[in-house]
Amino acid sequence: MKDSIRLRSGRSIGGQQPCFIVAEVGNNHQGRLDLALTMIREAARCGVDAVKFQKRDSASLFTAAGRAAPYTGANSFGRTYGEHRDALELDIEALARAKALAEELGLVFFASAWDAVSLGQLAALNVELLKICSADLVSLPLLRQAGALGMPVILSTGMSGYPEIDRAVEQLCRYHDNIVLLHCNSSYPCPEEQIGLPVMARLRQRYGLPVGYSGHEQGLGPSVAAVALGACVLERHFTLDRSLPGTDHKASLDPQGLAQLVSMVREVEKSLHTRDKEVFPGEIGSAKKLRKSIVFARDLPAGHVLTKADLTIKCPGTGLSPLYWDEVIGATLRGPARFEQQLSWEMLSPADDQGGASPLPGPTPPGEALPLLDLSAGGDHPPRTPCMGALPKYS
């Protein structure tokens, strides 16, 4: 089972590392380098780990008929689909400037290559990570070209069933296993009931590779939950303005939303640090204040044998825990007791237990608080259920 990949810069993704958060710029820069650079600066201020772009070569990607098809809708940037796509594209020199700024700001820069020409250009740009988008999971020649480069690959799995993912992973693994799979639903935006976060665990089990999440929902909850469920990469589309023309903007986060997401993810990661039940120092203070102690329900003389009617439980929890209620019933008072006085072990003589002495703990040294029951779950103790018998007596 592979749980992480390592980039050329030495950075690890997966394993015990914080989630690798990616701002997917895509083509939301509208084909403008100045806007792309502004987006990189804003993404860095939001606290992400990486920015991702997209690269297309129209002549390699589309047929002549596809490029010439009329494209005059509300989101069009040209009279034909080819003109529209070209208007949204940054050339490789512009991407080089974007990469330089991203790395200056401490971000990883990478991109999705949609065709063989673009993949070659990105390799020449010396990126340290490649992305294969969901649409190209079935593009075997492109997968083989990417694998042959020997660079780590993030592979999105939207639009795909297991047989298609099986084939794609098998092709890439012919070259290396520095692969992260992203669970993804390629609807824009994706309805929450179609997200399917439990699929991440299925992918991890089936392929033995690190798994992340590429979210196209409009909110934040599913992305945060994905990290709690173990996503090592989180990718969300990013825009400066969700009202801009284009379908991606409506399924993207603006700077305020992206910053909020990063903050929430880091909070969730902190909440996952403790892996076993543990009683923390702050809880001890709370227990003393909020829990109860066994106290006397009335004045009692020395030599009295305690019954349930003689005792009750009241705050604070600085005395003998009510967990020992059954152990003190039937014990004999060594001296007199006052109403609402806290019971302590040194006040008791042992109760008769089937003709023998049932031991009670010795007295607490003067001036020391009575000990609280240790409820921590450390060690290799097996789980306890009610049917396994009574809790052990205090010792």
Residues 108 and 20 in one domain: yes
Is residue 384 a part of any domain in this protein?
no
Residues 19 and 137 in one domain: yes
Is residue 392 a part of any domain in this protein?
no
Is residue 253 a part of any domain in this protein?
yes
- Residue at a domain's end among 237, 271, 305: 271
- pTM comes to 0.84
Residues 153 and 187 in one domain: yes
CA distances from 32 to 49, 74, 88, 100, 284 (A): 23, 19, 8, 16, 58
CATH of the domain at 289: 3.90.1210.10
- How much of the chain is helix, strand and coil, in % rounded to 5? 35, 20, 45
Residues 204 and 294 in one domain: no
Residues 221 and 111 in one domain: yes
- The total domain count for the chain is 2
Q: In the chain, pLDDT over 90 holds for what percent of residues?
A: 73
Task: State which residues form the domain around 300.
Answer: 281-374
Categorize the per-residue pLDDT at 326 as very low, low, confident or very high, splitting at 50, 70 and 90.
very high
Residues 107 and 196 in one domain: yes
Residue type at 139?
S
Would the pLDDT of 223 be above 60?
A: yes
Residues 255 and 354 in one domain: no
Quick check: 190 and 236 in contact, CB under 8 A?
A: no
CATH of the domain at 210: 3.20.20.70
Is residue 227 a part of any domain in this protein?
yes
Is residue 385 a part of any domain in this protein?
no
What pLDDT score was predicted for residue 5? 95
Categorize the per-residue pLDDT at 160 as very low, low, confident or very high, splitting at 50, 70 and 90.
very high
Question: How far is Cα 376 from Cα 326, in angstroms, rounded to an integer?
Answer: 22
Q: For 337-376, what is each residue's pLDDT tens digit?
A: 999 999 999 999 975 543 444 446 644 443 334 444 444 3
Residues 286 and 255 in one domain: no
The chain-wide mean pLDDT, for the chain, equals 88
Residues 224 and 316 in one domain: no
Question: How far is Cα 223 from Cα 263, in angstroms, rounded to an integer?
Answer: 12
Residues 226 and 83 in one domain: yes
Residues 113 and 159 in one domain: yes
Residues 177 and 228 in one domain: yes
Question: How far is Cα 46 from Cα 316, in angstroms, rounded to an integer?
Answer: 46
